[in-house]
Structure 1
Amino acid sequence: VQDFVDSPIEFTDFTNVEPRAGAAFDLSRGTRQMAVTAHYGRYYYNNSVALSAANPNGHATRTYRIENDGSLTLINQSNPSTTLIDPDLRRPYSESFIVGYRTRLARSLALRVSGIFKKSRDFIGTVDINRPADLFDPFNVTNPLSGEAMTVYNLRAGSPSTRLYYTNPEGADRDYKALATVLEQRPTRYVQFIVSHVWSRAPRWRRDSGRVTAVRPSAAPGTTRTSSSTRVKDVRWTWTARTR
């Protein structure tokens, strides 16, 4: 049986301003063409479909483990009617600052150098309020691939089922810094080439963090994971090159 409400139920409403500005300064002298550019912009992400998990008409889930004898052991269950949303939830956004220098080296050859800084804030993530960190017992194991010692966390048997709380978790901020150099040959006699080099750093990013939501590791009693909370990794300086 399904009923209908007289008016839509709104969990949260975002009203945001996205300021953007850019400028270019011509520094050309004689036949030498040069310019300096600058840009600032704020960009808000679209609302995450993950928020649909709070729909009380959504699907409830149960997760079982198949034992060796074929029996099933219930290890977790979720009910959308118990999912909570932070009343002060903020919409994720990114701010970018770009400063560039462009010059013509020859008739068809140009050089561009750009400094890029981008920061991403207020990522939306989930906190399992029924499974705090103290329900995970740490123990040391040997990594079978590298042979190195590592610590994993085992969810204690008898722990309550998941209850999610959508919020803006601390520690989910991400930054990106880069220095990009591009040498471009415009088409001349059917010949064109672009050579680019990017020196970049992305502190606090993780491999699976290219999304709007902060990742919530999942676990079940008797299973292990490598951390008891969402963690982000600091990526080292990386060099990349592209030719075309």
Structure 2
Amino acid sequence: DDSWQIGDRLTVNLGLRFDHNDGSIPSWFVYDGWEKTSERVPGVDNIVDMNNFAPRLGLAFQLTSDHKTLLKASYGRYYDANHHDNWSYPGPAVSDYKISYYDEDIEDYVLFDTIPGEMGYTVDPKLKNPYADIFSLGLERELMPNLSVGATFIYKKEKDLIGWEDRGATYEQVSLVSPDNGQTYTVFNQTSALGSNEYWITNPSRYGHTYKALIFSFSKRYSNNWQLYASLTWSRAEGINILSNLTHSGASFALANSGDFGKDPNDYTNAGGPLDHDRTWIFKLQASYSFPWEILASMNYLYQTGVPIPSFTRVYPDQGLRQLLAEPRGPDRYKPWNLLDFRLQKTFTIYKSLKLDAMIDVFNLLNSATVTDNRSQDLWALAYNEPSFIFYPRRIQIGLKLRF
């Protein structure tokens, strides 16, 4: 990483990062309950081996001779961390699957078959490390001392995301009617025998994200006893990933913890479009004012569009029940957020540099009761679209802080 000053207006930053990631599963003891036995599970070496170069470029250019108009641009490639949960599942130590049936003659279950736990799973030897290319272009203008406005455009493209892919089974497209909403869907019906599936941990070609944002900002740095920062963001986040059939954001991207999206081609039905964390508009306002007698008042306001609400329906191809997104994400969203927090603080000087801050915080001052999650998004469920979580109500917190 290095920086060059070219003239009195242009600054250029160049950087190049190299990452090497490899992964193996070590041999380990087999346990009988809580007791360690002498038997060992074999290890697996060199499951992944990744070498990545990540370039970085940034520049800042003063457009005017008064050095009050700044143009900023940057590009960078950023690789994901090496999460072992993306490639270590199921691993050599996974338990076998036991299939049993109930025998009414003996009134007990009888073992029918045993399937090795790791059967049908393959880690792609050419597995790639996910990465994001991020571009930004910004313009900032100082209107007067301590007061500036700006605009920034951000574009982010994520590729080589890790997920499931079935490379063994074959399918034909058929039309099936969902019993939940009466709509007809084009469904992939498995024509090969059940058990012919070969699930690969790979970089599915249909996976990927794009994020676009335009941010307008207003900044008044602290002077004359007050400061203020405001921003308005328009954004669009869309694509397909391992979480595309989940009902809410915040779940883990690690493959072992994120379900089985992509194992069946029907998972892709209506899966494209806005991501589960997509918010079209975000407005933020932060301000503070210092009154006489060391009294400080501050506030923080947040408005943001609600995230998409998905709906799921059922179809019944030959491979069994499949749950589909009834329609693409986006048209239905949770209500917007309106959150206002306020603080009032008084500082007492006890002795020289020894000070005591007494403060009172009011969270969710407007007592907003916006629903942020539902009990179920399944069209057939009795709890469909019933609220399960709303904002915490207005609450007051009193605090003391001693500084020395």
> What TM-score does the superposition give when structure 2 sets the normalisation length?
0.47
Mean Cα deviation higher: 115-124 or 197-206: 197-206
Contact 2:242–2:262 (CA<8 Å) still a contact in 1? no
Cα offset for 1:195? Answer: 1.4
Which residue pairs with 1:182 in the alignment?
217
Which residue pairs with 1:139 in the alignment?
176
Pair 1:170 & 2:170 matched = no
2:77 counterpart letter in structure 1:
R
Pair 1:240 & 2:294 matched = no
Mean Cα deviation higher: 158-167 or 194-203: 158-167
Which residue pairs with 2:261 in the alignment?
217
Cα offset for 1:140? Answer: 1.3
Contact 1:183–1:194 (CA<8 Å) still a contact in 2? yes
What SS class does the counterpart of residue 228 from structure 1 fall into? Answer: helix
The structure-2 alpha-carbon separation of the partners of 1:132 and 1:174, relative to structure 1 and needing over 3 Å to count, comes to: farther
Which residue pairs with 1:108 in the alignment?
146
How many Å separate the matches in 1 of 2:162 and 2:200?
10
Cα offset for 1:204? Answer: 2.1
How many Å separate the matches in 2 of 1:117 and 1:206?
18
The structure-2 alpha-carbon separation of the partners of 1:4 and 1:169, relative to structure 1 and needing over 3 Å to count, comes to: closer
Percent identity over paired residues: 23
Q: 1:128 aligns with which of 147, 152, 166?
A: 166
1:195 counterpart letter in structure 2:
A
Cα offset for 1:125? Answer: 1.0
Structure scoring higher RCO (CA < 8 A, sep ≥ 6) equals: 1
1:149 counterpart letter in structure 2:
Q
Q: Deviations over 1:25-71 (max 9, x none)?
A: 112443x61100111100111123121115212344569999xxx98
The structure-2 alpha-carbon separation of the partners of 1:139 and 1:44, relative to structure 1 and needing over 3 Å to count, comes to: same
Which residue pairs with 1:193 in the alignment?
228
Contact 2:71–2:138 (CA<8 Å) still a contact in 1? yes
Cα offset for 1:168? Answer: 1.1
Q: Deviations over 1:181-223 (max 9, x none)?
A: 111121234432221111222232579358365974288xxxx
2:81 counterpart letter in structure 1:
N
1:34 counterpart letter in structure 2:
T
> What TM-score does the superposition give when structure 1 sets the normalisation length?
0.73
How many Å separate the matches in 2 of 1:73 and 1:199?
58
Pair 1:9 & 2:48 matched = no
Contact 2:229–2:285 (CA<8 Å) still a contact in 1? yes
Bigger share in strand = 2
Which residue pairs with 1:34 in the alignment?
69
What SS class does the counterpart of residue 89 from structure 2 fall into? Answer: helix
How many Å separate the matches in 2 of 1:63 and 1:185?
67
Contact 1:101–1:114 (CA<8 Å) still a contact in 2? yes
Instruction: List runs of 5+ in structure 1 lacking aligned partners.
Output: 220-224
How many Å separate the matches in 2 of 1:148 and 1:36?
55
Which residue pairs with 2:93 in the alignment?
57
1:52 counterpart letter in structure 2:
S
Which residue pairs with 2:317 in the alignment?
none
Cα offset for 1:126? Answer: 1.2
Q: Deviations over 1:46-98 (max 9, x none)?
A: 123121115212344569999xxx98999x96722542111222111100011
Q: 1:79 aligns with which of 97, 117, 137?
A: 117
How many Å separate the matches in 2 of 1:206 and 1:115?
24
What SS class does the counterpart of residue 54 from structure 2 fall into? Answer: coil
How many Å separate the matches in 2 of 1:242 and 1:65?
59
Q: Deviations over 1:169-191 (max 9, x none)?
A: 11112211111111112123443
Query: Paired residues, what number?
Result: 227
Q: 2:183 aligns with which of 145, 149, 155?
A: 149
The structure-2 alpha-carbon separation of the partners of 1:92 and 1:29, relative to structure 1 and needing over 3 Å to count, comes to: same
Pair 1:208 & 2:243 matched = yes
What SS class does the counterpart of residue 144 from structure 2 fall into? Answer: coil
How many Å separate the matches in 1 of 2:100 and 2:147?
63
What SS class does the counterpart of residue 203 from structure 1 fall into? Answer: strand
